[in-house]
Amino acid sequence: MAVNDAALHDTLNAMEGFSMAPHDKASRLREVFVASDPTNHGALVGHVDASQFPIGGPDGAGHVSPGPNPYDLLSASLAACTAMTVRFHARRRKFPLERVEVGVSFHHGAQGERDSFERTLVLEGELDAQQRAFLLDAANLCPVGEILGIGADIHSRPDATSSGHNASAHASYENDLAELQIPYIDPD
């Protein structure tokens, strides 16, 4: 059973309180912001509504702040959205999904190739082969995945299957930041 983009929009529109109408979409927008914490060597803190969380990575002065780096946060967004999408489709179809776990890793493509996300799904419950295949296919309807798919490939696989991933290396935010060609400008 194949899942397509039209099914995504039908599903989202069927969700309670969800509408693709512009006025409804605007009222749901939230601003997420990041600010440096002067009490913690300028470490970055992410803010979403009342939630706060550290954001890790190099600060340019030789320190590496604790916490997930931007690549980790991007991967976590894809994993969370995928799990929610799979869970939604399972509940909607009354599939006996007891638990879903999604692992995501981000990889740089070899020179000239696209970057990619490797997504591993663990589906627990008394699901038959057709239900498992449907839910694995439904994972591709994740809205965050659709956005990320514009600039990177996303590969989904069940946990028991070995990866056919050919990316050259696991992405390292710290290494990518260090490789940026940013000219030093003396402030004095």
pLDDT tens digits for range 135-168: 999 999 888 988 888 777 778 878 764 444 444 4
Domains of the chain from N-terminus onward: 69-178 (3.30.300.20)
d(CA 34, CA 18): 28
Q: Confirm whether pTM is higher than 0.85.
A: no
pLDDT tens digits for range 97-137: 999 999 999 988 888 888 899 999 999 999 999 999 999 99
5-14 and 70-92 helices cross at what angle (nearest 10)? 80
Q: Supply the DSSP string of 141-181, one letter for each residue.
A: G-HHHHHHTTTEEEEEEETTSPP----SEE--HHHHHHH--
